[in-house]
């Protein structure tokens, strides 16, 4: 038997050591932990441990980073109790999030070795698929284009009616058709993104092609940013917020407990506007009734007060929008009522200054727009000129509402409303259950297969089992290094891979048996077995790979997790069957002096 | 140990008339079940809300229904899981329904604990359905392409028919018994498709090798029998070990993996049956002859043989 070259042995040994190293962290259990995010990690940790000790709550250990601190616990119950306490105590100062930490020793992290990331179905949490209302984004764009063009025509002295028609189409009706050329030029320079169509004195502008994509892209991108900021405030460790396709956003919040609050905070558009109030009109019940019956006014619109106490006419013109808000925090006013403190950027500050200077003594409405509703939170009287910083209160906001409003204003409004089109919530107990059952299937499958193969093929069976262990290590290490999320179907894929991987060894072992039966001496039988089975093994995996890749391309979530494990498993099992088991066989039979007289292959 | 290396050749091909009837009946029943009952699609494909709640022992299915009725929620389909939790399926597009169901149950039974909520909107379920059907078509097409590169058309068709039998049989069985067909089951069907093709490939490869070695007057039927017999050990051990892993899933994997593992189990047995009793007979029926093997395609020459 020709010896397996030394360099191949060394290569196999190196790869296996690396695989073991990177697979090792996944073998350590995770421990329940809390993540605290705030100004200073060490200070947070000190404050938290003092609080926990004071309340007689058990905690195990922890570590700190610059702006984060982690506390670990021995039991989930301790973790939850500590979470409730700390979330209350640190409200507004720091974000407290439930999480879990690997108990792997620190030196492993020095190599960059991390435990496999667990999918939501294994760790518990919420998965939302959000659909962005792109039609809204387009409407909004057209609306602002209308305003801009209206102003531009006024400035240039072109008499034109700019109106928004369904489609949406921006129709510019010229008083003097001779000005058509000038009007087209003006539109092209002020809003080049519109595609224009001219027909007898009317210019129609549409949003098409690339420009349309850009507007949608911008809206979805801004929504992702807003959601990221909102989720940051929710107290979730390691959230995922990502675009999916053209107009979808995936939000995954591991370990989240309060899903109702999450939905509320994620789904709200929360656009804030400050507008003038038409007090005379608001005082007239007759006009309110008329407006409620559907009568529309060009300059003002009727809006209800939040909390359902009456209506008020507000200007259609907006003084300042939420886009000008740079910070919002909740607090209280001089009378001790809950209020939200706002800070505006320079543009916003200039506008509010100019408006309030001219309108001292008048009312100003604070309008909150959500998906289908527009409400006036309050309409306080302007007592003096306002600057960049001021506070709003009203509507009988309680502390929680003021806090939530501040959060929403701070994180910005959604550029376009979103709908939850898919939700998958996994409770923490089911997540733990799934891990237990998934691991049970993998371990059970491994033991059954290993016993069967070892019994059937003797020493070569043991070689096959060793290759199976190598396969397990390589697959675990690969998943951990690639950062792929392991899901329950992924764990099932693990078990399935173990069962299917044996096929390669069976092909080799059966081939060796045949070569032996045909009278080949043991050494060359082994060699021929490996050499001739290799091509068949590759062949045998092609179709499973086709299925795996199709599943990956078309599947989502957990199914994709299965596809990843299936495809990677094919790669690792081919490697371990053809290369690793060959090295093991060489170690068993190749080191003997002289010819191999007998092969134990059942 | 050698249980599976028989001394004499199986003579399965001489029974191919009878097995063809059996196969035809199996496929007909499967297709009928598919057409009449259809798969019992999960919320992944139908849209709607699924809520799993672990309640205290005092709560029974009637209590669950009453609690929902009291909250004026739509009538759910109530099932119990193996560990006594309640699975409620509501056919509704309302994204708030899950939370409302949980609130109603917790009002009736403060100990009720949420295990999971799955809400799939109508748009998403349509997309999942299309993507799933597309995946099935893509994998089938990929396998057809692979087999036609690998074999001359008679064998390729034989293997393809065998494969389609497997898919139809799994889908038919799931329809017949009303087992839940979810995304994981679809994944299992696709995985088994890729996996079972291989069985026919191994047998046909062996046929080719045996034909080259044998004399010209040996009947092709006998060569097929011999090939099936010679690959029998590999068939049993390979499928046996895969089935052992799947068995572990059935035993330890709980409800979440049960139908996934069940689909794999049916698929494994179907693929053993079809690669032996459908692929070969179909190829014979199409007039498989020695010539089909004499000039192998390029891919086949490169592939080694068991």
Instruction: Flag whether residue B84 sits within 8 Å of chain A, measured between CB atoms.
Output: no
Domain-located, residue B2: no
The residue of chain A with its CA nearest to that of B184 is A559
Among B203, B248, B255, B275, most A C-beta atoms within 10 A, so best to mutate, is B248
Which domain-ending residue is among B120, B135, B154? B120
Q: Which residues of B touch A548 (CB under 8 A)?
A: 191, 194
Q: In Å, how far is A598's CA from the nearest CA of chain B? A: 15
Residue carrying structure tokens 């105590």: A89
Residue carrying structure tokens 């739509």: B74
Are A441 and B253 inside 8 Å of each other by CB? yes
Q: Residue A446's CB: how many other CB atoms inside 10 A?
A: 21
SS3 content of chain A, % helix, strand, coil (to 5): 55, 25, 25
Nearest to A582 by CA among A537, A516, A541: A537
The residue of chain A with its CA nearest to that of B53 is A427
Q: In Å, how far is A302's CA from the nearest CA of chain B? A: 29
Are B187 and A551 inside 8 Å of each other by CB? yes
Domain-located, residue B114: yes
Token pair, residue A43, equals 């200070």
pLDDT score for A591: 58
Q: Do both B209 and B261 map to the same domain?
A: yes
Nearest to A558 among B142, B146, B183 (CB): B183
Q: Is the pLDDT of residue B102 over 70?
A: yes
Q: Which residues of B touch A507 (CB under 8 A)?
A: 234, 306
Are A546 and B261 inside 8 Å of each other by CB? no
Domain-located, residue B304: no
Are B238 and A503 inside 8 Å of each other by CB? yes
Lowest mean pLDDT among A286-295, A414-423, A444-453: A286-295
Q: Do both B71 and B88 map to the same domain?
A: yes
pLDDT class for B152, splitting at 50, 70, 90?
confident
Nearest to B284 by CA among B231, B223, B216: B223
Enclosing H/E stretch for A332: strand A325-332
Q: Do both B102 and B237 map to the same domain?
A: no
pLDDT class for A274, splitting at 50, 70, 90?
confident
Q: What is the pLDDT of residues A173-199, one digit of tens each?
A: 877 777 778 888 888 888 888 888 887
Query: DSSP secondary structure string, A18-55?
Result: HHHHHHHHHHSPEEEEEEEESS-HHHHHHHHHHHHHHT
B72: CATH: 3.30.70.3400
pLDDT score for B304: 43
Q: Is A56 strand, coil or helix?
A: coil
Q: Which residues contact B291 (CB under 8 A, 6 or more apart)?
A: none
Q: Do both B234 and B269 map to the same domain?
A: yes
Q: Which residues of A touch B6 (CB under 8 A)?
A: none
Which domain-ending residue is among B64, B87, B120? B120
CB distance B51 to B116 below 8 Å: yes
Nearest to B291 by CA among B203, B220, B221, B228: B220
Instruction: Flag whether residue B172 sits within 8 Å of chain A, measured between CB atoms.
Output: no
Q: What is the pLDDT of residues A311-370, one digit of tens each?
A: 888 888 888 888 788 888 877 777 777 888 888 888 888 888 888 888 888 888 888 887
pLDDT class for A371, splitting at 50, 70, 90?
low
Alpha-helix residue ranges (DSSP H) falling in A326-427: 346-358, 399-411
Are A427 and B114 inside 8 Å of each other by CB? yes
Cα-flanking dihedrals φ and ψ of residue B198, to 5°? -60, -35
CB contact residues (below 8 A), chain B span 93-122, against chain A: 95, 98-99, 113-121
pLDDT class for B305, splitting at 50, 70, 90?
very low
Q: Do both B156 and B20 map to the same domain?
A: yes
Q: Do both B150 and B289 map to the same domain?
A: yes
pLDDT score for A602: 65
Instruction: Flag whether residue B257 sits within 8 Å of chain A, measured between CB atoms.
Output: yes
Q: Residue A356 half-sphere exposure, CB side, CA atoms within 13 Å?
A: 20
Q: Is the pLDDT of residue B3 over 70?
A: no
Domain-located, residue B101: yes
Q: State how far the alpha carbon of B133 is from the alpha carbons of A125, A551, A554, B45, B83, in Å.
A: 29, 11, 10, 11, 33
Domain-located, residue B248: yes
Q: Residue A570 half-sphere exposure, CB side, CA atoms within 13 Å?
A: 21
B268: CATH: 1.20.1640.10
Rounded Cα distance, A400 and A423, in Å? 25
Number of domains in chain B: 2
Q: Do both B79 and B185 map to the same domain?
A: no
pLDDT score for A335: 76
Domain-located, residue B153: yes
Enclosing H/E stretch for B190: helix B183-213
Token pair, residue B48, equals 């709607």
- What percent of chain A is modeled with pLDDT above 70? 97
Nearest to A216 by CA among A294, A279, A131: A131
Q: Residue B176's CB: how many other CB atoms inside 10 A?
A: 16
Rounded Cα distance, A421 and A133, in Å? 12
Candidate ranges A27-31, A318-322, B66-70, B126-130; pick with highest mean pLDDT: B126-130
The residue of chain B with its CA nearest to that of A539 is B303
Candidate ranges A350-359, B88-97, B265-274, B291-300; pick with highest mean pLDDT: B265-274
- pLDDT (average), residues A198-213: 82
Point out which residues pair with B119 in neighbouring strands.
A423, B49
Return the ∠ at Cα A349 (arms to A343 and A351), rounded to 5°. Answer: 140
Token pair, residue A258, equals 């309060």
Rounded Cα distance, A194 and A213, in Å? 12
DSSP A171: E
Q: Do both B198 and B271 map to the same domain?
A: yes
Nearest to A505 by CA among A458, A552, A545, A537: A537
Which domain-ending residue is among B87, B120, B153? B120
Q: Do both B116 and B89 map to the same domain?
A: yes
- pLDDT (average), residues B282-304: 67
Among A257, A492, A530, A563, most B C-beta atoms within 10 A, so best to mutate, is A492
Domain-located, residue B5: no
Q: Is the pLDDT of residue A111 over 90?
A: no
Q: What is the pLDDT of residues A538-580, one digit of tens each?
A: 877 888 888 899 888 877 777 888 999 999 999 999 889 888 9
Q: Do both B112 and B136 map to the same domain?
A: no
Tell me the whole-structure pTM to 2 decimals: 0.84
Return the ∠ at Cα A545 (arms to A544 and A549), rounded to 5°. Answer: 120
CB distance A349 to A388 below 8 Å: yes
Q: Residue A425 half-sphere exposure, CB side, CA atoms within 13 Å?
A: 25
Q: Do both B55 and B92 map to the same domain?
A: yes
Nearest to A437 among B2, B113, B253 (CB): B253
Enclosing H/E stretch for B54: strand B48-54
Rounded Cα distance, B207 and B306, in Å? 10
Are A559 and B238 inside 8 Å of each other by CB? no
CB distance B253 to A440 below 8 Å: yes
- pLDDT (average), residues B276-295: 82
Q: Are strands A202-207 and A95-102 parallel, antiparallel or unpaired?
A: unpaired
Q: What is the pLDDT of residues A471-509, one digit of tens each?
A: 999 999 999 999 888 899 999 999 999 888 888 888 888
Q: What is the pLDDT of residues B223-246, one digit of tens each?
A: 888 888 888 888 888 899 999 999
Q: Is A558 left (phi over 0), alpha (psi -120 to 50) or beta?
A: alpha
Token pair, residue A475, equals 């697959």
Q: In Å, how far is B18's CA from the nearest CA of chain A? A: 30
Rounded Cα distance, A5 and A341, in Å? 74
Supply the ipTM of this predicted assembly: 0.87
Are A536 and B114 inside 8 Å of each other by CB? no
The residue of chain B with its CA nearest to that of A121 is B116
pLDDT score for A17: 93
Q: Which residues of A touch B254 (CB under 8 A)?
A: 433-434, 437
What's the alpha-carbon Rg for chain B, to the nearest Å?
Answer: 24
The residue of chain B with its CA nearest to that of A423 is B119
Size of interface A-B (CB pairs under 8 A): 239
pLDDT score for B5: 63
CB distance B202 to B231 below 8 Å: yes
* Residue A532 CA from chain centroid, whole number: 47
Nearest to A83 by CA among A196, A291, A236, A301: A236
Rounded Cα distance, A348 and A343, in Å? 9
Domain-located, residue B306: no
pLDDT score for B306: 46
Token pair, residue B94, equals 């309302």
pLDDT score for B296: 52
pLDDT class for B303, splitting at 50, 70, 90?
very low
Q: Do both B21 and B169 map to the same domain?
A: yes
- What percent of chain A is modeled with pLDDT above 90? 14
Q: In Å, how far is A490's CA from the nearest CA of chain B? A: 10
Q: Is the pLDDT of residue A395 over 70?
A: no
Rounded Cα distance, A205 and A168, in Å? 9
Alpha-helix residue ranges (DSSP H) falling in B5-152: 16-36, 43-46, 61-70, 97-108, 122-150
Domain that holds residue B102: 48-120
């Amino acid at each position: 038997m020709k010896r397996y070259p030394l360099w191949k042995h060394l290569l196999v040994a190196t790869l296996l050591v690396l695989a073991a190293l990177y697979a090792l962290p996944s073998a350590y259990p995770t421990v329940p932990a809390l993540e605290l995010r705030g100004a200073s990690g060490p200070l947070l940790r000190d404050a938290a441990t003092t609080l926990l000790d004071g309340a007689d709550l058990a905690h195990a250990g922890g570590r700190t980073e610059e702006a984060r601190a982690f506390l670990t616990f021995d039991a989930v119950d301790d973790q939850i109790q500590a979470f409730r306490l700390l979330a209350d105590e640190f409200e507004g100062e720091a974000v407290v999030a439930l999480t879990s930490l690997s108990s792997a020793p620190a030196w492993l992290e020095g190599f960059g070795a991390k435990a496999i990331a667990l999918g939501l179905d294994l760790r518990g949490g919420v998965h939302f698929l959000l659909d962005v209302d792109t039609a809204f984004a387009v409407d909004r764009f057209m609306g602002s284009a209308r305003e801009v063009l209206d102003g531009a025509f006024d400035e240039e002295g072109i008499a034109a009616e700019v109106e928004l028609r369904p489609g949406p189409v921006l129709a510019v009706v010229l008083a003097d058709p001779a000005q058509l050329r000038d009007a087209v030029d003006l539109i092209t320079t002020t809003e080049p993104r519109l595609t224009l169509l001219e027909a007898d004195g009317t210019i129609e502008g549409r949003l098409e092609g690339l420009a349309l994509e850009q507007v949608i892209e911008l809206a979805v991108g801004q929504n992702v940013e807003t959601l990221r900021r909102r989720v940051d405030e929710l107290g979730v460790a390691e959230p995922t917020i990502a675009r999916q396709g053209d107009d979808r956003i995936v939000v995954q919040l591991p370990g989240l407990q309060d899903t109702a609050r999450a939905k509320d905070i994620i789904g709200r558009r929360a656009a804030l506007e400050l507008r003038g109030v038409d007090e005379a009109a608001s005082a007239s019940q007759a006009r309110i009734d008329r407006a409620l019956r559907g009568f529309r006014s060009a300059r003002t619109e009727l809006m209800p007060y939040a909390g359902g106490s009456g209506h008020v006419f507000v200007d259609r013109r907006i003084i300042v929008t939420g886009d000008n808000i740079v910070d919002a925090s909740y607090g209280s006013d001089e009378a001790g009522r809950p209020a939200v403190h706002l800070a505006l950027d320079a543009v916003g500050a200039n506008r509010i200054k100019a408006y309030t200077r001219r309108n001292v003594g008048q009312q100003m409405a604070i309008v909150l727009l959500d998906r289908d509703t527009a409400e006036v939170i309050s309409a306080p009287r302007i007592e003096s000129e306002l600057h960049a910083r001021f506070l709003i209160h009203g509507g009988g906001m309680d502390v929680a509402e003021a806090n939530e409003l501040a959060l929403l204003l701070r994180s910005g409004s959604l550029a376009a409303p979103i709908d939850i089109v898919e939700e998958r919530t996994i409770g923490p107990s089911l997540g733990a259950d799934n891990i237990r059952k998934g691991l049970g299937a993998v371990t059970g499958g491994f033991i059954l297969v290993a016993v069967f193969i070892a019994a059937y093929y003797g020493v070569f069976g043991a070689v096959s089992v060793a290759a199976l262990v190598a396969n397990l290590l390589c697959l675990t290490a690969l998943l951990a290094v690639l950062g792929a999320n392991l899901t329950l179907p992924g764990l099932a894929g693990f078990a399935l891979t173990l069962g299917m991987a044996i096929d390669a060894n069976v092909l080799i072992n059966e081939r060796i048996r045949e070569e032996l039966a045909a009278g080949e001496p043991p050494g060359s039988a082994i060699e021929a077995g490996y050499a001739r089975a290799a091509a068949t093994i590759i062949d045998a995996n092609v179709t499973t790979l086709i299925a795996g890749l199709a599943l990956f391309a078309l599947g989502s979530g957990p199914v994709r997790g299965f596809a990843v494990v299936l495809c990677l498993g094919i790669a690792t099992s081919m490697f371990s069957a053809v290369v690793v088991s060959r090295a093991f066989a060489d170690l068993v039979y190749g080191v003997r002096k002289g010819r191999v007289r007998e092969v134990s292959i059942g | 140990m050698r249980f599976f290396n028989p001394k004499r050749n199986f003579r399965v091909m001489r029974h191919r008339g009878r097995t063809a009837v059996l196969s035809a009946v199996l496929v007909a029943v499967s297709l009928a079940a598919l057409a009449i009952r259809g798969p019992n699609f999960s919320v992944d494909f139908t849209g709607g809300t699924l809520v799993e709640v672990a309640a205290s022992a005092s709560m029974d299915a009637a209590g669950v229904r009453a609690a929902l009725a009291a909250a004026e929620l739509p009538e759910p389909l109530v099932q119990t899981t193996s560990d006594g939790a309640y699975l409620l399926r509501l056919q509704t597009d309302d994204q708030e329904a899950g939370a409302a169901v949980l609130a109603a149950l917790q009002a009736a039974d403060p100990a009720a604990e949420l295990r999971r909520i799955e809400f799939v909107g109508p748009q998403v379920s349509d997309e999942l359905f299309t993507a799933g059907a597309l995946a099935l078509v893509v994998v089938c097409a990929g396998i057809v392409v692979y087999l036609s590169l690998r074999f001359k058309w008679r064998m390729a068709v034989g293997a393809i028919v065998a494969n389609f039998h497997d898919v139809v049989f799994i889908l038919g069985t799931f329809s017949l018994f009303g087992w839940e067909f979810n995304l994981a089951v679809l994944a299992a069907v696709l995985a088994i498709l890729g996996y079972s093709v291989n069985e026919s490939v191994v047998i046909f490869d062996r046929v080719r090798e045996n034909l080259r070695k044998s004399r010209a007057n040996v009947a092709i039927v006998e060569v097929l029998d011999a090939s099936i017999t010679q690959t029998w050990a590999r068939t049993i051990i390979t499928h046996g070990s895969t089935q052992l892993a799947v068995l572990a899933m059935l035993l330890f994997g709980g409800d979440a993996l049960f139908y996934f593992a069940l689909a794999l189990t049916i698929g494994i047995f179907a693929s053993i049956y079809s690669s032996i009793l459908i692929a070969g007979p179909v190829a014979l029926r199409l007039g498989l002859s020695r010539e089909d093997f004499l000039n192998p395609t390029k891919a086949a020459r490169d592939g080694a043989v068991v």
